[in-house]
Amino acid sequence: MNGSCQCGSVKFTTPTTQPIRLYCCHCLHCQKQSTSAFGTSAIFPAFSLPKDAPVGLWVNKKTDSGKAMNCYFCKNCGSRIMHDRGIGTVSVKGGLLDGLDWNDGIHIWTKRAVVPIPQGAVTHEGQPPSNENKKPLHQANY
How many domains are contained in the chain? 1
Q: 96: burial class by Cβ within 10 Å (0-12, 13-18, 19+)?
A: buried
CB contact at 8 A, 91 and 82: yes
pLDDT digits (tens, 9 = 90+) for 10-40: 999 999 999 999 999 998 888 888 888 888 9
Inside any domain, residue 137: no
Average pLDDT over the chain, rounded to an integer: 86
Structural domain boundaries enclosing 118: 2-130
Q: Which DSSP helix (H) or strand (E) runs through 22? A: strand 21-25
Inside any domain, residue 34: yes
> Can you name the residues that pair with 69 across neighbouring β-strands?
60
Inside any domain, residue 136: no
Inside any domain, residue 12: yes
CA distance 70 to 125: 24
